[in-house]
Amino acid sequence: MIFFKKKGIPLIDFFPKGFIDIHSHLLPGIDDGAKNLDTSIALITKMRSYGIKNIITTPHVLGDLYQNSSDTIKNKLKEVQEELQRRNITDVSIHAAAEYMMDEQFSELLEKNDILTLKDNYVLVEMSYFSAPINLYEILFEIQVKGYKPVLAHPERYNFFHNDFNHYYKLKKAGCLFQLNLLSLTEQYGKGVQKMSEKILKENLYDFAGTDAHHKNHLELLKKIGTKKNLEKIKHLLSNNKKFK
């Protein structure tokens, strides 16, 4: 008897036309993503081969570790855009925002309105994987008082929320939008994260999706999400991302 291996969906057919990736680390040498310009271009080229030609990349702005200013990010973006032109890669659109750790420095940037948004007033935020900020809900309130909409990166990865799903309802009630990391649909971050992503999806709490690509390995692993089952579960999120055009 011959067994046929179940075929997945190539990512070029998985991502809808006009899909915009709103979370990645592709600017060279400024965080834990692309280390240099050649790596940046290699990652962008790989994404392009998957049909992802619209990118809003989001370098970390994180305390003393990644002290990226808006100017630093804009300068690096320009460097990448110019290199793409030099290499005649003209069908990729790349812009930059930032992934802001909700810490004291972020509160200072918020006070000064020195925020790089995904588009309009949408701002990508994250928190430590060890614990939520003590003043989490005050920060979320301040973000909105300033006229921004908080988009929480990868809520499924905050293990300290896993023991009580009500945390997620509370965050949504507080005005938080949720961005799914696509690799959370695999075991990349552990089975607990994968299980939680399924639960949040089932409860229809996600708003958007992103690759959170840092390196080549992430983009190779991304192929694993290409199944009909996954596409059915998240096609509305992939479509939602188009609003960032």
Dist CA 148 CA 108 (whole Å): 15
CA 199 to chain centroid, in Å, comes to 19
User: Which domains are delineated in the chain?
Assistant: 17-244 (3.20.20.140)
User: What's 23's DSSP letter?
Assistant: -
pLDDT tens digit string along 11-40?
Answer: 999 999 999 999 999 999 999 999 999 999
| CA separation for the pair 178, 146 (Å, rounded) | 19
| Rounded-to-integer distance, Cα 198 and Cα 170, Å | 18
Per residue in 120-161, pLDDT (tens digit) is: 999 999 999 999 999 999 999 999 999 999 999 999 999 999
pLDDT at 6: 53
- Give tens-digit pLDDT for 182-226: 999 999 999 999 999 999 999 999 999 999 999 999 999 999 999
